[in-house]
């Protein structure tokens, strides 16, 4: 099994985190579905837009971004996935990094 940048995932704990990808997707899809239903409800029942549809849309986008951020993306380039017994600050001891954290890693560290 490989991470999203094509590196082999050796550590079992890291592999288990990546295997939960379906649950992350399901959670985000469920939240989007609820967001659409809330917007449809408001369009139908709040035609004067007292709730301010734009604010509601923005709130659901923020939730989606918050849920997207912590998804496993790459094996930690600093500890190689073992988390250094929880001491690796780059991955917070998890052995993997979300995309936004990985994207900020200097190119020379990515190999
Ligand atoms: Zn690490």
3-state SS, 4-73, equals: CCCCECCCHHHHHHHHCHHHHHHHHHHHHHHHHHHHHHHHHHCCCCCCCHHHHHHHHHHHHHHHHCCCCC
The residues near 107 (Cβ < 8 Å, ≥ 6 apart) are: none
pLDDT above 80 for 70: yes
pLDDT beyond 80 at 111: no
pLDDT in tens, 21-47: 899 999 999 999 999 999 999 999 999
- Cα of 63 vs centre of ligand 1, distance in Å, is 26
**Using CA atoms, how far apart are residues 95 and 14, in angstroms rounded to an integer?**
6
Cα of 102 vs centre of ligand 1, distance in Å, is 11
CA 40 to chain centre: 26
Both tokens of 90, joined, read 């780059």
Q: How far is the CA of 72 from the centre of ligand 1 (A)?
A: 12
| Cα 93 to middle of ligand 1, angstroms | 6
Domain boundaries, the chain: 12-110
């Amino acid at each position: 099994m490989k991470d999203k940048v094509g590196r082999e995932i050796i550590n079992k704990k890291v592999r288990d985190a990546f295997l939960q990808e379906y649950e992350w997707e399901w959670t985000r899809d469920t939240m989007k579905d609820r967001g659409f239903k809330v917007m449809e409800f408001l369009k139908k029942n709040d035609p004067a837009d007292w709730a301010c549809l734009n604010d509601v849309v923005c709130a659901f986008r923020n939730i989606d971004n918050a849920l997207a951020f912590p998804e496993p993306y790459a094996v930690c380039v600093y500890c190689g996935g073992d988390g250094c017994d929880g001491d690796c600050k780059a991955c917070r001891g998890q052995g993997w990094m979300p995309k936004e954290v990985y994207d900020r890693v200097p190119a020379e560290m990515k190999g």
